């Protein structure tokens, strides 16, 4: 069974640009969550989607958004990038919300 796939693995963007990250969950999993990992703040919850609906959202500005498609694949978008958005963005999939989550390798975003 294939694991969680995140693309791309690495990204370099300029301040003010926008970026879209992609996540393909484990086959059969309908819940996808996104996390931001930085050295200063650690792992922080961004949002969770289940069956194409955003189930809950962490404490991030509206520049961070996401969506989930009917095949459970998910994308997250960050608009008007800031230097502080540089981080490892991790996607996790679960069969159901609040059950064990399986993580992808992450996308390393660098904003310059």
Applying CB under 8 A, the residues found at the interface with another protein are 4, 6, 33, 35, 42-45, 47-48, 55-56, 58, 90, 92, 97-106, 108
Q: What are phi and psi of 97, to 5 degrees?
A: -60, 145
- CB 22 → another protein: shortest distance, Å? 15
CA distance linking residue 35 with residue 97, whole number of Å: 15
Nearer to another protein among residue 13 and residue 108 (C-beta): 108
Nearer to another protein among residue 16 and residue 96 (C-beta): 96
Task: HSE, CB side, 13 Å, CA atoms: give it for residue 45.
Answer: 12
- CB 42 → another protein: shortest distance, Å? 5
Nearer to another protein among residue 14 and residue 40 (C-beta): 40
How far from 3 is each of 24, 68, 97, CA to CA, in Å? 9, 18, 17
- The DSSP call for residue 25 is P
């Amino acid at each position: 069974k294939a694991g969680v796939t995140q693309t791309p693995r690495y990204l370099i963007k300029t301040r003010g640009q926008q970026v879209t990250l992609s996540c393909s969950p484990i086959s059969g999993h309908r819940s996808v969550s996104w996390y931001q990992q930085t050295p200063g703040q650690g792992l922080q919850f961004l949002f969770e989607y289940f069956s194409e609906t955003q189930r809950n959202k962490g404490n991030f500005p509206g520049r961070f958004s996401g969506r989930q498609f009917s095949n459970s694949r998910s994308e997250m978008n960050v608009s008007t990038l800031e230097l502080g958005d540089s981080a490892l963005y991790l996607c996790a999939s679960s069969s159901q919300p609040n059950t064990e989550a399986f993580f992808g390798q992450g996308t390393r975003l660098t904003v310059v």
